[in-house]
Amino acid sequence: MKALQYTAYGHSPVVNEVPEPVPGPGEVLVRVAGAALNPLDVKIGAGYVQEYFPITFPSTVGTDLAGTVERLGPGVTGWGIGDAVICRTDPTAGGAVAEYAVVPAASLVAAPTTVPLDAAAGLATAAATAWQAVIEIAELRSGQKVLVHAGAGGVGSFVIQLARRTGAHVVTTASSAAAEIVRKLGADEVVDYTSVDFRTAVSDVDVVVDSVGGEIEARSLDVLKPGGLLVSLPVPPDFERAAARGLRAEFVFHASDAERLAKVAAAANEGLDIVVDRTVRLSGAADAFDYVAQGHAKGKVIVRP
C-alpha cells in the first residue's frame, strides 16, 4: 500500500510503498477513507515535539482518520467488517495518512452518519480539542463573551460552533478572506486581524481561546475581564503573567480520548459542521502537508487515499 511518511526530521514527508499492516491482539485494520492533517503533524516532522512524541524513521504521518473496518485482530469484539469509524491515533504511532491503518480497537468511535466519511476524519483532533477547550476547560455558558482567535482554522472553526451552541456571544479574529466562513459558523463579530488590532475592537471578554500564541497571547490579556480565562492551544501560556493581572490561564493538552470523540461525533450528527479547505489524493499529500505548514488553512485539509 501507499503511505505518506516522514523520512527524517526537517524534511518534507514523501509517499512510499510499504507493507500493509497486520492487526495484532486488540487491534483493527481500517481501510482509510480520509485522513486529516494538523499542525501537530508538521511539528512532529520538524522535530519540535520529539521530547513528547518521538518517532523512528520511516514513520507514517497522521493521527486523524476515518474509514471502514477491514479486518479484526485477535480478541476484538464490538466491531464488524465494514463498520464506518473514526479515530485519533497516538501521535507517536501516527499511521493515518495511508491506504490502511492499524489502530487499537479501543480508540475507535462510530463515524457520524450525516457527514461524508472522509471529511469526518477532521473531527478527530480539531473538533475534540475544541470540545476540550470550550466545554471541559472553559465551561462556557450563555451570556458570556468569548474571543476565538483564528476562527477559520481547523480548531477555531469548531470552537466558534461549540461556543455558539452554549449561547455565548462569539467574537473571532479572521482575515477578510475568511469572514464569510466564520459568520456562517456562528460568529457574532469578526475582527480582521490583518488590519485591526483586536484590542481596539473587543473588551470585557470572559474567555479567550487562543490558537495563535506569541504576541497574540500576550495581547489577549488586555481584553479579558477581571478573573477572565485565557485558554491556550499552541504552547503553555505565561501563567504567572496572567495571575499577576488577576486572570486565569489554562493550556489544552489534547490526548486522544474515544469517549470525548464519541461526544464530538454525536455533535456532528446534530449539525456540527466540518469546514473542508481542500481534499487531495495521496499523490498530493506532501503538497497538502506543506500547505498546512504555512498556517492559512480554512478548516481542515483532508487526504483521501
Ligand X SMILES: NC(=O)c1ccc[n+]([C@@H]2O[C@H](COP(=O)([O-])OP(=O)(O)OC[C@H]3O[C@@H](n4cnc5c(N)ncnc54)[C@H](OP(=O)(O)O)[C@@H]3O)[C@@H](O)[C@H]2O)c1
* Closer of 57 and 253 to ligand X (Cβ): 253
* Binding to ligand X, residues 205-224 (CB under 6 A): 211-212, 216
**Is residue 233 a contact point for ligand X (CB under 6 A)?**
yes
Residue nearest to ligand X (CB): 153
Cβ at position 18, least distance to ligand X in Å: 26
When asked if residue 236 is in the footprint of ligand X (CB under 6 A), the reply is no
**Residue selected from 223, 252, 288, 303 as contacting ligand X according to rule CB under 6 A:** 252
**Rule CB under 6 A: is residue 129 a binding residue for ligand X?**
yes
Q: Which of 4, 55, 124, 152 binds ligand X (CB under 6 A)?
A: 152
SS (H, E, C) the chain: CEEEEECCCCCCCEEEECCCCCCCCCEEEEEEEEEEECHHHHHHHHCCCCCCCCCCCCEECCCEEEEEEEEECCCCCCCCCCCEEEEECCCCCCCCCECEEEEEHHHCEECCCCCCHHHHHHHCCHHHHHHHHHHHHCCCCCCCEEEECCCCCHHHHHHHHHHHHHCCEEEEEECHHHHHHHHHHCCCEEEECCCCCHHHCCCCEEEEEECCCCHHHHHHHHHEEEEEEEEECCCCCCHHHHHHCCCEEEECCCCCCHHHHHHHHHHHHCCCCCCEEEEECHHHHHHHHHHHHHCCCCCEEEECC
Rounded Cα–Cα distance for residues 254 and 272 (Å): 19
**Dist CA 78 CA 9 (whole Å):** 38
Binder of ligand X out of 34, 45, 156, 305 (CB under 6 A): 156
144 makes contact with ligand X (CB under 6 A): no
Asked whether position 126 contacts ligand X by CB under 6 A, the answer is yes
Residue 256 interacts with ligand X (CB under 6 A): yes or no: no
Asked if residue 298 binds ligand X (CB under 6 A), the reply is yes
Give whichever of 83 and 192 is closer to ligand X, judged by the CB atom. Answer: 192
The strand pairing partners of 189, in sequence order, are 171
Q: Is 91 in the site for ligand X (CB under 6 A)?
A: no
Indicate whether 124 belongs to the interface with ligand X (CB under 6 A): no
Question: From CA 106, how far away is CA 88, in angstroms rounded?
Answer: 11
Our CB check for ligand X shows the closer of 69 and 224 to be 224
**Please, which residue, 77 or 294, has the CB nearer to ligand X?**
294
Tell me how far, at minimum, the Cβ of 90 lies from ligand X, in Å.
13
| Residue 63 touches ligand X, criterion: CB under 6 A | no
Tell me which stretch binds ligand X (CB under 6 A): 18-26, 62-70, 171-179, 221-229.
171-179
16-55 residues near ligand X, rule: CB under 6 A: 38-40
What residues make contact with ligand X under the rule CB under 6 A? 38-40, 125-126, 129, 149-150, 152-156, 173-175, 177-178, 193, 211-212, 216, 233-234, 252-254, 292, 295-298
